[in-house]
Structure 1
């Protein structure tokens, strides 16, 4: 069954619920930089916050943060319109699911950036954040920090001496800490890059077949 626009909305809502529920739990149950193991040696929950882009990358201080948040807002608004266009034009289920994941991820981090500074107290090393604190949140509108917690240090140790450039250095793979929204964006983008010929090729073949159909009276 072809994916419809309401299905796109449901995918976005599902990812957002998972993303925000986990972030809310982390904010209200863990101190900053606290971690615990899920699977020993390769999967941990490690609570950090960042005021920049995905996977902890920074972008130009307070002014850069506002620009980044407004860019996310514009991307989400335009993303919903573009997804509706893709559905109308009859693109395949795979592309629409990938687009929905990217859109949901952008919306998830946008919520953090827009509202978390207003609704949570500051996170520190000694106590968990409070939801809707009496004195107000730790920041202002558009100045919230993005909550990250998923950490996969699959390999951690010293590299062999024979490894070029980094031989003998302490090395962690995979070092970045991220969240469900980041993961959704990454899965969507990588899948489109890997399967772009299938996603777009099938659509073009479908259009070509429709153009060759005889006109019936």
Structure 2
């Protein structure tokens, strides 16, 4: 079981290292082409995913952060209580991926507004960007937002899909697909019609 917790921690760390690197080295909207099929394109997501922007700003962000926290705690408790009953490794991997992605994106929401000097902010009923490169704030200085009101950093752009996301989003998507599809495939193989 320890190796599955270790996988979760490694994925969270990889995602956070890449996000912090991008946020502290690229300007908002800046892109770097790495391969024909992959670019780094730095955006911040003030919403809940897939480009959905919140209409009421920080109040919605706090409510969503609380709901995300509750769901992660429920999911973790379920995983911990049922760890001996989950016999299929693909389900364990699915749960690890879902937890890693959810926790890492939640860390952005919880702390990025407090530890960085710049980020998207909600003013006059719209999300406003910024110029320059974000920096970690020094002791006793104020971040761009409040606890639970930070924006999620996205940077992976695959032109073939025309969507920008991060490692955490990838973990959530793959983990969700494994959780939904593999048990059905497994049951179809056991009980052919």
TM-score by length of 2: 0.85
Higher relative contact order (CA 8 A, sep 6+): 2
Using the TM superposition, give the Cα deviation of residue 60 of structure 1 relative to its aligned residue in structure 2, in angstroms: 4.1
Deviations 1:145-201 (A, max 9, x none): 0000011111xxxxxxxxxxxxxxxxxxx22211100000000111222212256x4
Q: How do residues 1-217 of structure 1 correspond to structure 2 at under 5 angstroms?
A: 4=1, 6-40=2-36, 42-62=37-57, 63-123=59-119, 126-133=131-138, 135-154=141-160, 174-198=161-185, 201=187
Using the TM superposition, give the Cα deviation of residue 14 of structure 1 relative to its aligned residue in structure 2, in angstroms: 0.7
Using the TM superposition, give the Cα deviation of residue 80 of structure 1 relative to its aligned residue in structure 2, in angstroms: 1.2
Cα distance between partner residues in 2 of 1:70 and 1:125: 27
Cα distance between partner residues in 1 of 2:87 and 2:137: 43
Q: Which runs of 4+ in 1 moved over 6 A?
A: none
CA contact 1:46–1:149 (8 Å) conserved in 2: yes
Larger Rg: 1
Seen in structure 2, the aligned counterparts of structure 1 residues 44 and 125 have a Cα distance that, compared at 3 Å, is farther
Unaligned runs of 5+ in 1: 155-173, 206-217
> RMSD of aligned C-alpha atoms?
2.1
TM-score by length of 1: 0.76
Deviations 1:105-144 (A, max 9, x none): 0000000000100000114654210112453210001100
**SS of 2:34 mapped into structure 1:** strand
Of 96-105 and 187-196, deviating more is: 187-196
Aligned length: 179
Unaligned runs of 5+ in 2: 120-128
